[in-house]
Amino acid sequence: MEGPLGFETDLWSNWLRNHRYGGDADYERNVRSRVAVYVKRVLDGAELWPGMTLLDIGAGEGAVGLAAIERLGARLKVLFIDISPSLLRHAEALALCAGVASQCRFLQASVEHMVPVADASVDAVTSRAVLAYVPDKLAALRECFRVLKPGGRISIGEPVFRDEALAAAALSQVLAARVVDHPDRLMPLVQRWQAAQFPDTPDAIAQHPLTNYSERDLVRFLQQAGFGHIHLEFHIDVGEAEPIPWEVFINTSLHPLAPTLAEIMQAQFDAEERRIFEHGMRPAIESGDRVCTDRMAYVTAVRPYL
């Protein structure tokens, strides 16, 4: 399958360049504005200086690395690592357009096995919404430790989705126990939607990479990987959701491992269920009359000199 730039697409590139925004320019601008805040916090934690080499793992379309170059100019070198060749080519195209490609290297590898990066060869490592999709987070952080020079810093910003999964599991349990009767049939459809986005049983939550960790687990993994001077900031932001046109909303997905709502409704709802679900959910989506909670863990650490 080819993307809009003629590149082969995969799970990661298809989400980042299509299902993240639902094909809507206004929604894309809003999302990118929020992402810019996450990127700034990650870069602030990296404490970059002129002459450094930065490794951005799970680089995606290059948001963190390119922002780092914009911040420091020609005095920074950046290695971009990602498992998606399509996204690496896209990031390289953006670097070429920005005139900074000479400062960049684009390497395909998983973050658990960063073979192209030599031991003790980079000054800083950044990660934004990457470890959430890595099954073996400790292995990934040990690799980050390996490639960092002594005294080098790691700065990560990771979403914490465990509460969403626990809420999905609680709703599944309530409906299975028939504690609450839902004659309008909406709540079982909401449960089906949630269960398609997050694991909804205790065993599945414990095994899924999106939900098998908390913010405190990230600290523990960094300790086990050998890091010191670890600092955690856990940000929880609760507020009204922005209004989103229904057609845009159903063509987005919350993360790369989740189908879009349109795909869920097509695969799991019959025509009458789709009508019930849209009637019950669309007014709140389009008016913004719902609560949105964002949970992000920002963690920094240092590879000790000894």
DSSP assignment string, 59-99: -TTTHHHHHHHHHHGGG-EEEEEES-HHHHHHHHHHHHHHT
Summarize pLDDT for 70-99 with one digit per residue, the tens: 999 999 999 999 999 999 999 999 999 999
CA gap 82, 44 in Å, rounded:
22
pLDDT for 118 beyond 90: yes
How many other CB atoms are found less than 10 A from the CB of residue 214?
A: 15
pLDDT for 1 beyond 70: no
Residue environment code for 78-92, b if the CB has 16+ CB neighbours within 10 A, otherwise e: bbbbbbbebbbbbbb
Longest dimension (CA), the chain: 65
pLDDT of residue 179: 55
pTM: 0.91
Token output for 239: 């507020």
Return all residues near 6 (Cβ < 8 A) that are at least 6 apart.
none
Q: In what order do the strands lie in the sheet with 291-302?
A: 104-108, 77-82, 53-57, 122-128, 148-159, 291-302, 228-240
pLDDT of residue 135: 92
pLDDT > 70 fraction of the chain, expressed in percent and rounded? 95
> Which H or E element spans position 149?
strand 148-159
CA gap 106, 276 in Å, rounded:
47
Structural fold of domain 11-160+213-240+292-302: Rossmann fold (3.40.50)
Token output for 197: 């986005």
- 180 confidence band (pLDDT: 50, 70, 90): low
Inter-CA distances, 231 with 100, 218, 247, Å = 32, 10, 41
Enumerate the domain spans of the chain.
11-160+213-240+292-302, 162-202+244-289
- 181 confidence band (pLDDT: 50, 70, 90): low
The answer to whether 148 and 122 are in contact (CB under 8 A) is yes
- What are the counts of helices (DSSP H) followed by strands (DSSP E) for the chain? 12, 7
